[in-house]
Amino acid sequence: MNYKDVYEEWLESPDFDEETKAELLSIKDDEAEIEDRFYQELEFGTAGLRGVLGAGTNRMNKYTVGKATQGLANYILEQGTQDKGVVISYDSRRMSPEFSKQTALILNANGIKTYLFEKLRPVPELSFAVRELGCTAGIMITASHNPPKYNGYKVYWDDGSQIVAPRDKDIIGKVRAVEHYSEIKTTTEEDAREKGLFNVVGTEMDDKYISVLKKHIINPEIMKQEGKKLKVVYTPLHGTGNQIAERLLNELGMENVYVVPEQKDPDGEFPTVSYPNPEDKKAFKLALELAKKVDADVVLATDPDADRLGIYAKDTATGEYMDYTGNMSALLIAEYRISQMKEKGILPSNGMIITTIVSSNLTRAIAKEYGLECIEVLTGFKNIGAIMKKAEENKDKTYVFGFEESYGCLIGDYARDKDGIAAVMALCEAACYYSSKGKTLWDAMNEIYKKYGYYIETQVAIVKEGSSGAQEIKNMMTKMRNTKVEQIGKYKVTEFKDIEQDINKNMITGEVTSTNLPKSNVLYYELENNSWCCIRPSGTEPKIKLYMGVRADTQEEAQKDIEKLKQAMVDIVEN
């Protein structure tokens, strides 16, 4: 059926309630809106199911959530792991509580035990809880950092990581096999509780999660000492972060933590920000105002599901608050933790840093400095989790640190997703340590650059919405895939990777080898002088994303180079 046929089916079928039909009737004269809502079904991308709230197959609603859950239930039953159960959490977005409870009851109707958090909790605690409870899977109702009109549905497997190939494809196959919404099983909470299937997770999981995080502090005494005077401003951006963060920092000895009052409480409308994303400088407006008022040393923000962290740190030389990219904050944490582990003799000899191919090449330099293996994977923290799982099974490598440029890192192996709460803790510890040496976090960042060189990265997102936009993005990727790019700006291309076609071509010798990466719609250009570019469609938003990075001997030179490279890359893609 085409999109119009599916639209009509939703209007006529008894499977859909009157409220849904009324919403759809209100757009009966808007052909473009009807097409956008029904031209496809939501699919699992790098972060699971995610879409705009509303009626339609291409929207997040109780029917698409129900179909996804029934398909997942069918998969779990096929695996025979239903007795292990599924743990479910959710964030502060609209419909998150409703979707989470609906998900639990559909699983219960299929004879699958569930553990539903009593109220909203962050993504990293959900990942931790999967392992702690020994569940077969976990589900997080969240759209992460997306605007308020979005919600989403992340699926985790028994290792605490988001599902990866081929399991993700198998699960979506089961979802697609649910042809009629009438196939979705239902039950009541009362019946599910009587059968021991519906269980509630309370604050005892918070205690366990916080206890594990505390064990990853390297210099607890310094943190207590410097925590008496260091000032930290924190905002959860109306999300889940402050369910844990403020308590954790207080227990570690941070006595001057100021939570932005206007953004402290969960609110799915995100009334003080248009885009609840710590990557967006505008999201820090209220936090920076508070920081200046209390003369804070560090300003921190987590996104609604608290897996990402943004940071500003005060430069005492100028009095200005300096912003960090995701690469900068993660690698500051990495350099601090790894150097301290080496100093204390606890750095494993078989240690590894895991990052993504679109993250900073500074990672390679830090890994080399400390004798660690640097492993690069495709975008998406689930791919980092897959390497962690393999190492755990083989017992041949020890996880030290992992991160991706999109403001997310993980300091330990207690979970399998990026952890903004742990990152808050780690940055506060680093700030305390450097304070004890008479330095700020900004001083520490500049010392890293002086030690390794000035690595700067940036990205550009070209937005193409709707079905026509999806085709435009596809055409852009096809054009770039079939164009021989030998130079980008002033840099010669030394190596070209078409990861979807598993081609790794040396542009100097012409030799073609394997990429040794899972197939994915990604094009990567290795350039001269430790520089690079990468192109891929977003897995969760209607965008084609361009990433790039350079290395130079001075900050000024690096900044000029990255701007020129960015413009050169945009010109190639758009022309």
Active site residues: 144
Residue 99: its H or E element:
helix 96-109
Cis peptide bond upstream of 304, omega within 30: no
For residue 528, give the nearest of 363, 367, 361, 373 by alpha carbon. Answer: 361
Instruction: List, in order, residues 6 or more apart from 437 with CB less than 8 Å away.
Output: none
How far CA 219 is from CA of 158, 224, 363, in Å, comes to 32, 9, 23
- By the 8 A CB rule, do 151 and 51 touch? yes
Task: Tally DSSP H helices, then E strands, for the chain.
Answer: 19, 23
Residue 31 in tokens: 């052909």
> Which amino acid, one-letter code, is at 146?
N
* Residue 476, helix vs strand vs coil: helix
DSSP 457: E
Residue 372 in tokens: 């660690």
Q: How many CB atoms lie within 10 A of CB 181?
A: 17
Angle of helix 203-214 versus helix 123-133 axis, rounded to 10: 100
- By the 8 A CB rule, do 407 and 279 touch? yes
- By the 8 A CB rule, do 142 and 96 touch? yes
Beta-strand (E) ranges in 118-214?
137-141, 150-157, 198-201
